[in-house]
Structure 1
Amino acid sequence: MPHATTHMKPTTHPTALHLVMLLGVVSLFADMTYEGARSLIGPYLAALGAGATAVGVVAGMGEAIGYGLRIVSGLITDRTHRYWTMTLAGYAVNLLAVPALALAGNWKTAAVLIMTERFGKAIRTPARDAILSHAAHGLGRGWAFGLHEAMDQIGAMIGPIIVAAVLAWKGRYEYGFAVLALPALLALAVLIIARISHPQPHNLEPTMHTLEARGLRSTFWFYLMAVACIALGFADFPLVAFHLKTKGIVADQWIPVIYAGAMGVEALSALVLGRLYDQKGVSVLVVTIGVSAWSAPFVFVSGPVLVILGIVLWGIGMGAQESIIRAVVADLVPWDQRATGYGIFNAGFGLAWFAGSAFMGLLYDRSLMALAAFSVAVQFASMPWLHFVQRRLPTTRVATDAKP
């Protein structure tokens, strides 16, 4: 066990829970905003005259910006210690770009706003996750991240429904984007309340001084390798939806319902898996990946009944990604390097996700069996790395999870 000294700072569970809940409400309104917008972006760009290639390039560049720049924003956050400033600035850019789409007028302006929205998310995510990790310390990180993700997914389910209703009522995309100004402003208002209520979130976690920083860093990189394997083999829902439509497995109107159901499974599993992680550690992630990795065979090489089982497994896998996988990062990275750790982690995860999605798209046109085999094999390749982290993490958790 590494020698560690702890400088205890005053904290209470109600205070920490209050901050987690506030950040959860922010994410709920934020997801209503940009997930509602994402459900319209493709057809909106087409209506403004963009071709399929332009739509693909805009979407790809937006995601590349959204993940790649998190390394930079994480480093800046830890260097300046401006966690709330980065979070507030990022959310402002992220959210206000969405209703501005109503005024775009042409697809090129809309494309700039879409990439601006992703840029804002890149700015705020490492800082926000670092703040959340401090609040999660006294509550159980798995549970806190799971609760945050559950609230996040409630917003992700409500947003597309709102814009669909507005579109059916008004018949114009501009109204759909304009109505999203309301949840955007609500998210920013709640975020300001969180900033005023909890100006020093790092006080919720004891300051640790450990002599084994190198060991912690190496464990983090091994963990990133494991998570990259998971991301590389995890099928993106657009490919799943494409399969359901082109193969005639379900009628078009049922695909959004299936997606909403998957988001519900994700929210519930995030809560359950987060709590189990706090009790059992990384072994919960190992078991979960061993189960959810089989989603691709059920979705892509089976009949309608087993497809639903595959969607449920997909939702469980997503729930693990947004609760346990994020929580482990906080247990591996020292508190004063947390934003940098999340920035590097998110960038690596995103790069692997998009590389895997592109490759599985190519495999789809050649062999569904090969796609399913690739998905399962690559995710199972994460197991040795996870077992290594599991052996190392209990030592680090003694230091980082000591209760004040």
Structure 2
Amino acid sequence: MKKRGKKNVFRLGLTSLFTDISSEMIFPVLPLFLTTVLNAPMSIVGLIEGIAEATASFLKLASGWFSDKFGKKKSIVIGGYSLSTITKPILAVASHWTHVLGVRFFDRVGKGIRDSPRDALLAASVNKKTRGKSFGLHRALDTTGAIIGTIIAFLLLRLYSGDSFRLIFLLSFIPGVIAVLILIFGVKEKDHKKDHKFKFNFSKLNSNLKKFLFIIVIFNLANFSYAFFLLRAKNIGVLISLIPLIYLVYNLMYAFFSVPAGKISDKIGRKPVLFSGFLLFGLTALGFAFIANRITIWILFGLYGLFMAITEGVSRAFVSDLSNKNIRGTALGTYHMLVGLTVFPANLIGGFLWDAINVQSPFIYAAALSILSSFLLLFLIKNNHKKAM
């Protein structure tokens, strides 16, 4: 990895770190704010998360295509981060669940604009031999921000006697601004000429990439929002003030194992690493369904974080490996779009199963699909670690 590439990876990671401090001050408490302050049912929580992620997904494809077409990735990334930073503090004045929906919508618009060109910018900064490690480092820094944000939320919930939810929402603006400044002044982009002949043809994609995208669709129909896992903790009697601390366990595992998972995938290939991650999620979901209590919930959140560490960065590295560099932004955008589009029905189905049947049923459903996905990955994707480009 060249010196400039290392700096880009690290500074993109710092941008994500401060953005996630901002986001994770909010996200662990937002489902609690919705259900305890605004009295929204679980089906509404699922609806909000589904709409938010679906919105981001459409834009991830568009922004990825635009960045490949016009060659300007950094300016698009800046716009996306800036929109999210401005939007989140508005939660402080929310008085109805529709207000939360509006904020989550525009926050995810920002995420949709930035994610694909940012991942393509990161992939362009390094070579294939270190790509897994680089994506892992980015995810680790991102999750370190989540850890810090979660700790801040926990301390405010425990120590502030007033409306701690709304104070958290307001304070989230500060790290968001720092993230945008690091991006503007610290990240460099190579000059790229505008490609007037750029075209993207899905049918010409690497066959393994098309199969992997199909498997991602199946898997993410089971991968509903973190909100379900947090509310499962509340359901078994965990104190509201302790829920951010349980979420911290998730983020610690995610941060600690992201780089090792990326390094392992660089050495043995992405497929076996992803297979183990999908299978682990299925088993963890079964744990949330059948053995969750005030003791085991800490272990289950740790396993949930380990699953994320194994799969998040490695999946993006795999898509980057299997796509030509001149369409990498669009390929990553397609991946992100499919993830979000399938998370939308996953959240709706999860919310419906929770309300209509019982709290265990969403997790049983998730386990079945994720275990199926792990074996589809095992048998459909060819072992071409050495040939990936």
**Structure 1: distance between partners of 2:96 and 2:72:** 36
- CA shift digits 1:286-338 (9 cap, x unpaired): 23323332001222112535544433322121112321111101101111111
Once the 2 structures are TM-superposed, how far is the Cα of residue 66 of structure 1 from its aligned partner? 1.7
Aligned pair partner of 1:264 in 246, 252, 260: 252
- CA shift digits 1:194-215 (9 cap, x unpaired): 33xx231889xxxxxxxxx966
**Structure 1: distance between partners of 2:210 and 2:375:** 13
Secondary structure (helix, strand or coil) at the match of 1:227 reads helix
Once the 2 structures are TM-superposed, how far is the Cα of residue 43 of structure 1 from its aligned partner? 6.2
**Structure 2: distance between partners of 1:285 and 1:220:** 14
Letter in 2 for 1:271: V
Letter in 2 for 1:123: I
Secondary structure (helix, strand or coil) at the match of 1:272 reads helix
Equivalent residue, structure 2, for 1:276: 264
Where do 1:168-247 residues align within 5 Å? 168-169=159-160, 171-172=162-163, 173-195=165-187, 198-200=188-190, 216-234=205-223, 236-247=225-236
Once the 2 structures are TM-superposed, how far is the Cα of residue 124 of structure 1 from its aligned partner? 0.7
**Structure 2: distance between partners of 1:43 and 1:243:** 11
Secondary structure (helix, strand or coil) at the match of 2:254 reads helix
Once the 2 structures are TM-superposed, how far is the Cα of residue 374 of structure 1 from its aligned partner? 3.2
Aligned pair partner of 2:52 in 50, 62, 68: 62
**Structure 2: distance between partners of 1:306 and 1:102:** 34
- Contact 2:130/2:266, CA 8 A, preserved across alignment: yes
**Structure 1: distance between partners of 2:54 and 2:224:** 18
Q: Radius of gyration: which is bigger?
A: 1
- CA shift digits 1:1-45 (9 cap, x unpaired): xxxxxxxxxxx5322211111001000001111222334545667
Aligned pair partner of 2:372 in 362, 365, 381: 381
- CA shift digits 1:83-108 (9 cap, x unpaired): 11111111111212223545778876
1:235/1:269 Cα in 2 relative to 1: closer, same or farther (>3 Å)?
Answer: farther
- Contact 1:146/1:273, CA 8 A, preserved across alignment: yes
Equivalent residue, structure 2, for 1:97: 87
**Structure 1: distance between partners of 2:277 and 2:60:** 27
The root-mean-square deviation of aligned C-alpha atoms, in Å, is 3.2
Once the 2 structures are TM-superposed, how far is the Cα of residue 348 of structure 1 from its aligned partner? 0.7
Aligned pair partner of 2:70 in 80, 84, 108: 80
Secondary structure (helix, strand or coil) at the match of 2:107 reads helix
- CA shift digits 1:219-260 (9 cap, x unpaired): 211001122232223354322232232233x44443322211
- CA shift digits 1:144-182 (9 cap, x unpaired): 111111111111122243345456447245543332232
1:321 aligns with 2:311: yes
- Contact 1:99/1:181, CA 8 A, preserved across alignment: yes
Equivalent residue, structure 1, for 2:324: 334
Secondary structure (helix, strand or coil) at the match of 1:69 reads helix
Which runs of 5 or more residues in structure 2 are unaligned? 194-201
- Contact 2:49/2:347, CA 8 A, preserved across alignment: no
1:23/1:286 Cα in 2 relative to 1: closer, same or farther (>3 Å)?
Answer: same
Once the 2 structures are TM-superposed, how far is the Cα of residue 277 of structure 1 from its aligned partner? 0.2
Letter in 2 for 1:187: A
1:110/1:375 Cα in 2 relative to 1: closer, same or farther (>3 Å)?
Answer: closer
**Structure 2: distance between partners of 1:103 and 1:154:** 28
1:127/1:39 Cα in 2 relative to 1: closer, same or farther (>3 Å)?
Answer: same
Letter in 2 for 1:259: Y
Letter in 1 for 2:263: R
> What fraction of aligned residue pairs are identical, expressed as a percent?
25
Aligned pair partner of 2:26 in 37, 47, 53: 37
- Contact 1:235/1:296, CA 8 A, preserved across alignment: no
- Contact 1:98/1:117, CA 8 A, preserved across alignment: yes
- Contact 1:294/1:313, CA 8 A, preserved across alignment: no
Where do 1:248-259 residues align within 5 Å? 248=237, 250-259=238-247
**Structure 1: distance between partners of 2:98 and 2:365:** 37
**Structure 2: distance between partners of 1:273 and 1:95:** 30
* TM-score, normalisation: structure 2: 0.84
- Contact 2:92/2:170, CA 8 A, preserved across alignment: yes
Q: Which moved more, 1:43-52 or 1:253-262?
A: 43-52
- Contact 2:151/2:248, CA 8 A, preserved across alignment: no
Equivalent residue, structure 2, for 1:291: 280
Letter in 2 for 1:279: K
1:27/1:387 Cα in 2 relative to 1: closer, same or farther (>3 Å)?
Answer: same
Secondary structure (helix, strand or coil) at the match of 2:382 reads helix
Equivalent residue, structure 2, for 1:25: 14
Equivalent residue, structure 1, for 2:196: none
- Contact 2:275/2:374, CA 8 A, preserved across alignment: yes
* TM-score, normalisation: structure 1: 0.81
**Structure 2: distance between partners of 1:123 and 1:82:** 13
- Contact 1:134/1:201, CA 8 A, preserved across alignment: no
